[in-house]
Amino acid sequence: MARRRYQKGSLVPNRGLPANGFWKGRWREDVMQPDGTITRPYKWEVLGTIQDYPTRKLALRALEARLSTINSPTYRARPTATFAEFANRWDATVLSQHKPSTQSSTHSQLRRWLLPQLGSCALKDLDGQELQAFVSSCRCNSKTIRNLVATLRMMWSSARAWGYVAHDPFDGLVLPKRGLVQTFTFSLEETQRIVASASEPYKTFYSILAETGIRGGEICGLRVADLDLENAVIHVHQSVWRGQIQTVKSRKGNRRFPISAELVEHLRAYLRTWRANALGLLFATQNGTPWDHSLVRKRKFHPLLKRLGIPQCGFHAFRHGNATLLDQIGAPMAVRLNRLGHAEAQTTMGYTHAVTADERRVADDLGRILHVNERNEQEEKPAPNALSFLIQ
């Protein structure tokens, strides 16, 4: 195939200075049609104003720089597609490889925001100005807008890799400032009241949330096999989203950490009445399916908070409360990050692997603080036979 001729393009107007104050360039660009044929239509683009380029020679230099990509020996015709057409292909080949939770949120973004406003726009014409106009026209909070732009960046990475585009519309993009986010945190007294007022199996559910700071989806994915009660360690390997088992949020979420002796005894007592299920889950429905933490929150947790006079919030308040306690007892930062799943995950250790002294001290301190009421009740009862605590 013969190499195309070197293009110099042309300026509009052909002579003199532009009357409207804008320099406009024109050139031909190879475009691959859906049927595979290549056409060479004219492309027009504003290069700048007279203030940017006071003379015609300066405007020609700007045009030459703009055509450098097209005049490159490696230049090839780019396929054309509207944003909606590309989104369908990207959905089928890329988004389908992500976790169900990611697919659900991204489908919602595409359906509600991205496709209605950007769907008819040709991908190659989606520049910084178009993207800024989209951001400015979105009538939603700043967090949602930032999530939408993050999804667009992810899609754009595929578009560049597949040859649809070569430019970066995100350069110079101005996003709205983050608004104030109300964060709910349970105090120590509130946490103790919640655990004390709950009935089983929710008492155990809330006890684990309070001491470990584990995520709602992660606790629903806990299996009995993930509990190493002999060594007082919990392993987190999976999560649950809308009743479906999936991987944890990130590699950092795949972790293990020690628990207190008080929580170990609580779990042993719970396991004596635990009903086995096919998946071996610590918390399962009567049909043996995983708990959906959103349903537990709405049907059980929120009514409990209302009875106790505690503001309605989600399970994440346990997580914030746990992080606060870790700070109060002086837990090393490495221990805090590991327990909360915010640090690089360590290589999965065997159940009998010893934990560090700092981790054990933190677990014991949490147990003494959180389970003081249970410990007082145990002291009032005669000491049980230690063999009765063994897990069958």
Query: Residue 33, SS3?
Result: coil
Top pLDDT among 346 and 217 is at: 217
Q: Enter the tokens of residue 47.
A: 């290069």
pLDDT category of residue 357 using cuts at 50, 70 and 90: low
pLDDT of residue 387: 31
pLDDT of residue 356: 57
Q: With 80 as the cut, is the pLDDT of residue 301 above it?
A: yes
For residue 192, what are the CA distances in angstroms to 109, 198, 240, 260? 39, 10, 26, 16
pLDDT of residue 381: 56
The answer to whether 35 and 45 have CB atoms below 8 angstroms apart is no
**Domains of the chain: which residue ranges?**
10-79, 83-161, 188-389
Backbone angles phi, psi at 316, to 5 degrees: -65, -20
Residue 208 exposed, middle or buried by CB count within 10 Å (0-12, 13-18, 19+): buried
- Whether the ω angle into residue 13 lies within 30 degrees of 0, i.e. cis, is yes
pLDDT of residue 350: 25
Q: Enter the tokens of residue 14.
A: 């052909």
pLDDT of residue 358: 64
pLDDT category of residue 325 using cuts at 50, 70 and 90: confident
pLDDT category of residue 380 using cuts at 50, 70 and 90: low
Mean pLDDT across the chain: 85
The stretch 384-389 carries a mean pLDDT of 36
The answer to whether 305 and 313 have CB atoms below 8 angstroms apart is yes
Which residues make beta-bridge pairs with 46? 24
Number of neighbours of residue 157 by Cβ within 10 angstroms? 11
The answer to whether 234 and 219 have CB atoms below 8 angstroms apart is no
The stretch 227-241 carries a mean pLDDT of 94
> Domain 188-389, what fold?
hpI Integrase; Chain A (1.10.443)
Q: With 60 as the cut, is the pLDDT of residue 205 above it?
A: yes
By mean pLDDT, which of 186-200, 213-227, 243-257 is the weakest?
243-257
Q: In what order do the strands lie in the sheet with 31-32?
A: 38-39, 31-32, 78-79
Q: With 80 as the cut, is the pLDDT of residue 162 above it?
A: yes
pLDDT of residue 35: 73
pLDDT of residue 293: 94
Number of neighbours of residue 242 by Cβ within 10 angstroms? 14
Q: Which amino acid is at 245?
A: I
Rg of the chain, C-alpha, whole Å: 30
The stretch 315-320 carries a mean pLDDT of 90
Q: With 90 as the cut, is the pLDDT of residue 334 above it?
A: no
**pLDDT tens readout for residues 52-63:** 999 999 999 999
DSSP string for 166-210: -S-TTTTPPPPPPPP-------HHHHHHHHHHPPTTHHHHHHHHH
C-alpha span between 371 and 264 (Å, rounded): 11
The answer to whether 179 and 142 have CB atoms below 8 angstroms apart is yes
Top pLDDT among 16 and 191 is at: 191
C-alpha span between 263 and 20 (Å, rounded): 76
- Highest averaged pLDDT of the listed ranges 97-101, 140-144, 164-168, 194-198: 194-198
pLDDT of residue 383: 47
Q: With 60 as the cut, is the pLDDT of residue 213 above it?
A: yes
**pLDDT tens readout for residues 5-26:** 788 899 988 888 888 889 999 9
The stretch 354-364 carries a mean pLDDT of 67
pLDDT of residue 206: 97
pLDDT of residue 180: 59
pLDDT category of residue 392 using cuts at 50, 70 and 90: very low
pLDDT category of residue 182 using cuts at 50, 70 and 90: low
pLDDT of residue 194: 96
Q: Which helix (H) or strand (E) holds 293?
A: helix 293-296
